[in-house]
Chains A and B, each alone.
Chain A
Amino acid sequence: MQNTDNPITILLVEDNPGDARLAQEALKDGGIQNQLFHVVDGVEAMAFLHREGEYADVPRPNLILLDLNLPRKDGREVLEEVRGDAELARIPIIILTTSQSEVDILRSYDLHANCYITKPVDFDQFVEVVRSIEYFWFTIVTLPQVQAQG
């Protein structure tokens, strides 16, 4: 069980500001303390994870919510890179995208995403999804220990 003293850190990689805000609102409604970071493309995401430049002092996220279709570097590449990096490989990655294409789903699992969720059209459903994510990943599941900061 997650220690509720430490707020959970979630990295949201999403280029659509509307969707990002929705995720934010849904997480707020969720009830589990969390610290949400948001980046808008794959390049920013990698910078964040490698703690480069403006992201020098950020914590390592406990969970990544990753959209697939992103500018500059898309989610598929980010997925591949994270999984290929020994330091980052353990972080659970949830693909949260509009695409329902078989190809995308299979590829994501092939690249070892933890799971694939299609964004629901309905906000209520979206809240449910986000709540489920929170509940599952932060209450039920035991996450690997995150390396200490610094």
Chain B
Amino acid sequence: MPACIDRAGLKMEKHILPITIVLFSLVLAFDLYSHLGIAAGIAYIPLVACGLWFPRNTMPLVFAAVATVLIILGYFASPHAGVSDINVLVNRGLSILSVWIVAVICLEQKRTRSELSESEQQFRLAMEHSAIGMALVAPDGKWLKVNHALTNMLGYTQEELLTIDFQTITHPDDLDEDLQFVTSMLAGWINHYQMEKRYLHKQGHIIHALLSVSLVRNPDNSPACFISQIIDQSARKRAIDDLKQSNRELEQFAYIASHDLQEPLRMVTSYVDLLARRYQDKLDQDASEFIQFAVDGCKRMSRLIQDLLEFSRVGTHQAEFVMVDSQAAYERAIKNLKVAIEESHCKITCTDLPNVHGDANQLTQLLQNLIGNAIKYRHPDRECQISVEASVINADKVQFNVRDNGIGIEQKHFEKIFDIFKRLHGRNEYEGTGIGLAICKRIVESHQGKIWPLADEQQGSCFCFTLQQAKTSQ
């Protein structure tokens, strides 16, 4: 056990008291009946140290007081055997002083011991009654001390756990990572670590846990022991798995629904169209208008379903994330928007765009939607200028800004614009279903990023989004 929490072992029963009284009496007798008047008081000093045997901290002071009384008594009652008064007085005085010094030293010793004992007691209680698993682990991995919560979690008894090490009950796939952290901590590179890992229950099944470990060092800086806190994640993991499953099902549902809606829609659209074409001359004004509304409605429904399909595809058709050259994605987006760019005479520029971690197609779509919006909502009186910039925020994040000098967006609309099918303008002013930004938000969030408009810019809009840096291991 490390010295830091070593218990003070001295705790004697109160039956020591009679023994102490006997000893005091012996020393008194020695003082009174022997002829060594000079150094007689010294015998009381070790007796004061007996105060250490008693649990009460102030015992040494009590004994010191008793010893003082007895030394004074001895002055008057013992034979002086030819020693001058002043010598005897000084010697007795020095004895009394020594007795008190020893008493105070013993008192300090006891106080320190009891403070340690108290703090150790508190620690023990905290650990035993903790609702989460806690353990002390030796530098080589052996379990030194474990609490109830942990033994319950892992299915072993205390005795069983204390004979093995954590490596034995760690899932083999998590062992390497854990050991790497341990090595780093022993070497002093890190002070603590946290990881999600799997333990093997005594009955063989897996326990998902969140582990937090810190290292306690001895005064000479050598590792003393690890303090581990282990939180059972099983319930949480089940909930998360259920949620993921539910999400997957919803996405599939959305995809299938939009897909299956297309066929009947096609029938309606095509035949209304056919009616319009074939019977144009046979229709009166009203019928023509009615058909026109119907055709219009069909076209819009068709676009809505296409957009819903696209929206749900973000989740269901996402490829595995790899390193993506965002410059290339930008160029693909520009190519796809070629016609719109030419018609609007927009000038589009970009800075150096870095490599990111994600799905190349979705990144292209993201840029295409944002740049497409910038083109669509350009200002009628200004030459349309759009710029795409990127800057590295930190080791894992890159931020992109798509800036334009178009009609801008009022701050009060900032929340709405990312909702599905929410539009700020009427169908007559600008076409579109209102799903572009919702798709952008979905793509960015599935890439663990954030997307937001910069605060009210009178001279246009700026949309910012963050993506993960390309992983260097690729």
A56 within 8 A of B: no
A99 to B263, CA, bound (A): 11
Determine which of B266, B271, B274, B277 lies in contact with A121 in the assembled complex, contact meaning CB atoms within 8 Å: B266
Number of interface residues of A (CB under 8 A): 12
Q: Is the Cβ of B274 less than 8 Å from the Cβ of A123?
A: yes
Q: What residue of chain A has the Cβ atom nearest to residue B299's Cβ?
A: A122
Q: Is the Cβ of B270 less than 8 Å from the Cβ of A126?
A: yes
Interface residues of B in 254-287 (CB under 8 A from A): 262-263, 265-267, 269-271, 273-274, 277-278
B302 within 8 A of A: yes
Return chain A residues, CB-CB under 8 Å to B266. Answer: 19, 98, 119, 121
Cβ of A118 to closest chain B Cβ, rounded Å: 11
Return chain A residues, CB-CB under 8 Å to B262. Answer: 98, 121
Return chain B residues, CB-CB under 8 Å to A16. Answer: 263
Q: Please, what's the 1-or-0 string for A123-143, where 1 marks a CB less than 8 Å from any CB in chain B? A: 110100000000000000000
Q: Is the Cβ of B267 less than 8 Å from the Cβ of A122?
A: no
Q: Please, what's the 1-or-0 string for A10-29, where 1 marks a CB less than 8 Å from any CB in chain B? A: 00000010110010010000
Interface residues on B, range: 10 to 19
**How would you classify the secondary structure of chain B's contact residues: helix, strand, loop or mixed?**
helix
Known A-B contacts A22-B274, A25-B274; A121 and B267 likewise in contact (beta carbons under 8 Å): no
Q: Is the Cβ of A123 less than 8 Å from the Cβ of B273?
A: yes
A124 to B302, CA, bound (A): 14
Q: Is the Cβ of B265 less than 8 Å from the Cβ of A18?
A: no
Q: Is the Cβ of A123 less than 8 Å from the Cβ of B263?
A: no
Return chain B residues, CB-CB under 8 Å to A124. Answer: 273
Q: Is the Cβ of B263 less than 8 Å from the Cβ of A98?
A: yes
Q: What residue of chain A has the Cβ atom nearest to residue B298's Cβ?
A: A121
Return chain B residues, CB-CB under 8 Å to A25. Answer: 274, 278
Task: Name the residue among A25, A122, A126 with the largest chain B CB count within 10 angstroms.
Answer: A122
Q: Is the Cβ of B273 less than 8 Å from the Cβ of A122?
A: yes
Q: What residue of chain A has the Cβ atom nearest to residue B268's Cβ?
A: A18
Interface residues of B in 420-451 (CB under 8 A from A): none
Q: Please, what's the 1-or-0 string for B376-399, where 1 marks a CB less than 8 Å from any CB in chain A? A: 000000000000000000000000
Q: What residue of chain B has the Cβ atom nearest to residue A29's Cβ?
A: B277
A22 to B272, CA, bound (A): 11
Return chain A residues, CB-CB under 8 Å to B299. Answer: 122
A50 to B274, CA, bound (A): 35
Cβ of A105 to closest chain B Cβ, rounded Å: 15
Cβ of B197 to closest chain A Cβ, rounded Å: 39
Return chain A residues, CB-CB under 8 Å to B263. Answer: 16, 98
Q: Is the Cβ of A18 less than 8 Å from the Cβ of B269?
A: no
Interface residues of B in 112-162 (CB under 8 A from A): none
Q: What residue of chain A has the Cβ atom nearest to residue B309's Cβ?
A: A100
Q: What residue of chain B has the Cβ atom nearest to residue A126's Cβ?
A: B270
A124 to B274, CA, bound (A): 8
A19 to B266, CA, bound (A): 9
Q: Is the Cβ of A123 less than 8 Å from the Cβ of B269?
A: yes
Closest 10 CB pairs of A and B: A123-B273, A123-B270, A18-B267, A121-B266, A121-B302, A22-B270, A123-B274, A121-B269, A25-B274, A98-B263
In addition to A119-B266, A122-B270, 16 A-B residue pairs with Cβ atoms within 8 Å of each other are A16-B263, A18-B267, A18-B270, A19-B266, A98-B262, A98-B263, A98-B266, A121-B262, A121-B265, A121-B266, A121-B269, A122-B269, A122-B299, A123-B269, A123-B271, A123-B277
User: Could you show 9 A-B contacts with beta carbons less than 8 Å apart?
Assistant: A16-B263, A18-B267, A22-B274, A121-B265, A121-B266, A121-B302, A123-B270, A123-B277, A126-B270
